[in-house]
Amino acid sequence: MSTIRVIRSAERDIWRDSALISRQSFPATGNFDLAANAFGLLLVHNDDVVAPGEGFDMHQHDNVEIVTWIVDGRLRHRDSGSGDATELGAGSAQHISAGSGVRHSEVNAAGYTSRSHVRVVQSWLPADTRDTAPFHSSHDFNAALAGGGLVPVAGPDSPLPLGTGGAALYAARLTSEVTVPAGAFIHLYVIRGHVAVAGEHLGEGDTLRATDAGPLTVVGEGEILVWVMERGN
């Protein structure tokens, strides 16, 4: 049976300090059993705003697929593989397949005196195969998004293949309407703007979670991220 649930922006878990505001669709900070709160294959879905010059110093991940969508500002990434720094701007995404283990840092590329924050939406999914060789890749989607349609970001037939089968991430900068493919689990997140879908009206920070749903028509103006998943954990 198909179900629809809306999680309003104010209902999210919030974790903050002097450098970061993390608005979490699932409890993530201090949670050591992410699978218990998962929706479909989605373990973590954080909308983070990072202060100028701040961020996450070198830290470890393993056996998880991480996709980071840049909303505003510029993110500087450095990992333990090449050691080279990569900068990503708004409308870009990065995929990290942590595999057997990777250390990396993610910081706001703007300096401390710039007053420029970076905003990112980061998702985690479980890897299908454990302890593979880690790697990362990134892609700029601005040209594709300019058309107003639903753009494949990560997963099958996209620029960022995942090590998690049965999951696909889409993005859109809506000017009228798009159709989200059917899925066992659909997680639709409004980054900015206002949209209507499945009889619900959603604003910035709101999430619609659908199970066993057919194609969903989304109408409105704004930016959305949608995970379509064919299975759960």
Residues that constitute the known binding site for Fe cation: 59, 61, 104, 106
Residues pairing with 200 in the sheet: 197
Q: How far apart are the C-alpha atoms of 64 and 111, rounded to whole Å?
A: 30
**Extended beta strands in the chain, E state:** 3-7, 13-16, 20-24, 44-50, 55-61, 64-72, 74-79, 85-89, 92-97, 102-108, 118-126, 135-140, 151-154, 167-174, 177-180, 183-197, 200-202, 207-213, 216-229
Q: How far apart are the C-alpha atoms of 43 and 105, rounded to whole Å?
A: 20
Binding residues: 59, 61, 104, 106
Q: Count each helix (H run) and each strand (E run) in the chain, helices first.
A: 1, 19
Q: Are 202 and 196 in contact (CB under 8 A)?
A: yes
Q: Give the Cβ contact number of residue 7 at 10 Å.
A: 18
Q: What letter does residue 142 receive in the DSSP assignment? A: H
